[in-house]
Amino acid sequence: MLGSVIHGPRDVRADDLPEPTVLTSNDAVVRVVAACVCGSDLWPYRGVTPTSEPHGIGHELVGVVEALGDDVTSAKVGDLVVVPFSFGCGECQSCLAGFPSACDRVTFYGGQDRDGLPVEGAQSARVRIPFAQSTLVPVPLDVDEAEAEGLIPSLLTLADVMSTGHHAAVSARVGQGSTVVVVGDGAVGLCAVVAAKRLGASRIVIMSRHADRTALARELGATDVVAERGEAGIAAVREILGGLADCALECVGTDVSMQQALGVVRGGGSVGFVGVPNGGAELPIGQIFRKNLTVGGGMAPARSYIEELLPDVLSGAIDPGRVFDLTLPLSEVAEAYAAMDERRATKVLLRP
């Protein structure tokens, strides 16, 4: 079968890989209907996160269950399922508290599980899913119905970026009437706009310098745009809102973006951060202390959010799939990564 493999910096290939099989009683094999490239995939692609040896890549998929281990009853063969970017056991303290991404045995795509068994990257024709009982989320439509209704892109966002944007908004305590600043105009930032609107924010400012992303952000619910950065950006937010924001959603993961998020929030406000930390991002405890800020977030517990967000996708109340602006066959995965790296695309959907 075809599957994406990263061999080194700027070297992602569609390689011929062995077909996965059920290896434990809690496994599933899922045929991938759609996968995609994530902004966090660009860190190893750019060499920021070194690749020591070739391995599968990708961590977002929607697919059809083709085989199940004997202990899996949460889905059946033939089901269309959303699969989150991390797999939790469903039994440990973190999983039971609703944080499967912090599972004691958390497993990710593109390597091995805790028993040393292979897990393909999500950008593949088929993937073995460990902890399938607690991981798979069936969709109450078959794949043909979902395709006909154009729902596959939005369903795919639930595996990561929409759930992650929602996590930023929940962590920042966005609620009815909140004023919100979103730092980052990538797919997660755009989904954070959707999440903030869904939770009742009255004003949503996105910090963006890119005309295409700014336009989409406005269509998704942003009320205002700030192109400035640093102190100029803070001043622009003050002018727009008549003061600083109640909440900031940090969706990038750098020191600069975190400083910006902390700077645009009023005293006693909240920051939700979900950008994968890179570039030495650290929290300035003194500033947080002086302003009485609440800072929360981290790796999104996507599995815990999918069932909450799924009805709104199915009803059309939210349409986060609009963040995809390029669709390519899996065989052209190298171009998918290049397009995102060169900012020719916001997020690329891959079709095996």
**Same domain? 253 vs 307:** no
d(CA 183, CA 166): 14
pLDDT higher than threshold 70 for residue 106: yes
The tokens 């900012």 sit on which residue?
343
CA 237 to centroid of chain Cα atoms: 26
Instruction: For residue 238, report the phi and psi dihedrals to the nearest 5 degrees.
Output: -60, -45
pLDDT higher than threshold 70 for residue 249: yes
d(CA 33, CA 147): 10
pLDDT value, residue 134: 98
Burial of 78 (0-12, 13-18, 19+ CB in 10 A): exposed
Dihedral over alpha carbons 307, 312, 314, 319 (to 10 degrees):
-120
pLDDT higher than threshold 90 for residue 281: no
Helix residue ranges per DSSP H, the chain: 42-46, 93-96, 132-135, 143-148, 152-157, 161-171, 187-198, 211-220, 230-241, 255-263, 285-291, 302-315, 333-341
**Same domain? 171 vs 100:** no
Over residues 51-63, the mean pLDDT reads 96
Over residues 133-152, the mean pLDDT reads 98
Contacts of 92 (CB under 8 A, 6+ apart): 103, 104, 105
Over residues 65-84, the mean pLDDT reads 98
- For 352, other C-beta atoms within 10 Å of its C-beta total 21
Q: What is the pTM of this model?
A: 0.96
pLDDT higher than threshold 70 for residue 182: yes
pLDDT value, residue 278: 75
**Same domain? 134 vs 177:** no
Domain range for 232:
161-297
CATH of the domain at 264: 3.40.50.720
**Same domain? 182 vs 212:** yes
d(CA 33, CA 351): 6
**Same domain? 194 vs 331:** no
d(CA 337, CA 278): 19
How large is the greatest C-alpha to C-alpha distance in the chain, in angstroms?
60
What is the DSSP secondary structure assignment for residue 25, as one 8-state letter?
A: T
pLDDT higher than threshold 80 for residue 247: yes
pLDDT value, residue 286: 94
pLDDT value, residue 114: 87
Pairing of the two strands 224-226 and 203-207: parallel
pLDDT higher than threshold 90 for residue 282: no
The tokens 């400012």 sit on which residue?
205
**Same domain? 10 vs 149:** yes
Instruction: For residue 124, report the phi and psi dihedrals to the nearest 5 degrees.
Output: -140, 165
**Same domain? 215 vs 90:** no
**Same domain? 151 vs 261:** no
Q: Which of 258, 279, 297 is the last residue of a domain?
A: 297
The tokens 């043909």 sit on which residue?
144
**Same domain? 277 vs 183:** yes
**Same domain? 120 vs 47:** yes
d(CA 258, CA 278): 11
Q: Which of 335, 324, 333, 347 is nearest to 17 (CA)?
A: 333
pLDDT higher than threshold 70 for residue 163: yes
The model's pLDDT over 328-349, given as tens digits with 9 standing for 90+, comes to 999 999 999 999 999 999 999 9
Q: Which of 297, 315, 338 is the last residue of a domain?
A: 297
**Same domain? 279 vs 320:** no
Each residue of 304-330: b (16+ CB within 10 Å) or e? Answer: bbbeebbebbbeeebbbbbbbbbebeb
pLDDT value, residue 62: 98
**Same domain? 293 vs 321:** no
Residue 284 · residue 231 · CB < 8 Å: no
pLDDT higher than threshold 80 for residue 279: no
pLDDT value, residue 256: 93
pLDDT value, residue 280: 61
d(CA 46, CA 58): 15
Contacts of 199 (CB under 8 A, 6+ apart): 169, 170, 174, 175, 176, 178
Lowest mean pLDDT among 110-119, 183-192, 230-239, 305-314: 110-119
Instruction: For residue 178, report the phi and psi dihedrals to the nearest 5 degrees.
Output: -65, 145
CATH of the domain at 59: 3.90.180.10
Mean pLDDT, all residues of the chain: 96
Residue 188 · residue 85 · CB < 8 Å: no
- For 225, other C-beta atoms within 10 Å of its C-beta total 20
Domain count for the chain: 2
pLDDT value, residue 49: 87
Residue 248 · residue 181 · CB < 8 Å: yes
The model's pLDDT over 10-23, given as tens digits with 9 standing for 90+, comes to 999 999 999 999 99
